[in-house]
Structure 1
């Protein structure tokens, strides 16, 4: 898949290899969802990840000197922000091996290092992970199990976000591709798990 190294709209300190042009997620899959291969979520920088990256860059004390795990990393934007903000180590996870490869490629473009594993993280980041009922249920269970850790989530109001479990810490107007979101911006909140 052809990507271009582009600055992140809300966090231009970070550049990512992204699809350039008026293309939506399912335009890249021939309009169909295949259970054997996830759509290339990693080829876009989603609103929740952008907001989370902006928050971490503006509040480096949230991650400085700490171990961080970015769940469902996608392009790696939140993980890269944590590394740039001084995290001691940043691990990434994603069900799509192509996303892990993309996050590492993007980390290299930003002169930071990400790990495929981090032991006992202090901080959990999750950007734009509540986009379907099934995924939201899985992510909620996973995040609720992270007792004693700081959990930060970026969410643009996808509809399946369990707001009762979180408190808002920041809100951003995030530029997004119209072909992807059917809007030019999304109001996106960074939340802290209670």
Structure 2
């Protein structure tokens, strides 16, 4: 899969739209889950590509992006990682807010392609931190993680690493819309949002998102 092929696929199966909480940023987004899901499976059959989570502006990423653009999460001059970035919404917000360096981490190459396409459309630069960055030594000042505690294995994989980063002095921010596996210890809430969602992804029309600072 080449970058031009991925970009062409994304553009053909999405529509430019603005997330409800962050209308300043325009992204390539799916308007219905079924067509993009089926198209991804057809085009990438037998390639082991993840479902197209990158094609939606998830509530956690919207909350993080809103706080960044409002200045509540200061990122100017800082090195920022958008972990499990999806389509890169929070990363793009950080770049627009003057971060010195922004990386997006994703294990799905199509998500990284979507992030690059979205960043270019918004006139900013976001670098791809390819592969699984969990376990990497601290090289960022701020780590953004939106909606990452949706499965027990994922939570168990990432939380010890995020806590180590926080203990080393990295600001780690978790945005969670009430997922079942969010740990309760060491989280300090800093903001809450009601974020509109789609019934094609969620079981309700809004999600209550809390943004936490993680203690080391």
Q: Normalising by structure 2, what TM-score?
A: 0.82
Q: CA deviation at 1:37?
A: 2.4
Greater radius of gyration (CA): 2
Distance 1:27 1:99, change over 3 A: closer
TM-superposition CA deviations, 1:19-59 (whole Å, max 9, x none): 013x26995467xxx99321111011111111111111112
Task: Please state if 1:3 is matched with 2:22.
Answer: no
Task: Please state if 1:14 is matched with 2:59.
Answer: no
How large is the RMSD of aligned CA atoms in angstroms? Answer: 2.2
Is the partner of 1:189 in helix, strand or coil?
A: strand
Task: Please state if 1:69 is matched with 2:81.
Answer: yes
Q: What is the rounded CA distance, in whole Å, between the counterparts of 1:72 and 1:38 in structure 2?
A: 12
Q: CA deviation at 1:162?
A: 1.2
Q: Normalising by structure 1, what TM-score?
A: 0.90
Task: Please state if 1:81 is matched with 2:102.
Answer: no
Conservation of the 8 A alpha-carbon contact between 2:37 and 2:51: no
Distance 1:178 1:71, change over 3 A: same
Is the partner of 2:93 in helix, strand or coil?
A: helix
Match of 1:145 among 161, 164, 182: 164
Task: Tell me which moved more, 169-178 or 138-147.
Answer: 138-147
Name structure 2 gaps, 5 residues minimum: 1-8, 130-137
Q: What is the rounded CA distance, in whole Å, between the counterparts of 1:93 and 1:185 in structure 2?
A: 26
TM-superposition CA deviations, 1:122-169 (whole Å, max 9, x none): 101111111100111112122012121001111101111113121000
Output aligned runs, 1:1-194, within 5 Å. Answer: 2-21=13-32, 23=33, 27-28=37-38, 36-59=48-71, 62-117=74-129, 120-146=139-165, 147-194=168-215
Conservation of the 8 A alpha-carbon contact between 1:49 and 1:77: yes
Q: Runs of 4+ in structure 1 displaced over 2 angstroms?
A: 23-30, 34-37
Q: CA deviation at 1:182?
A: 2.0
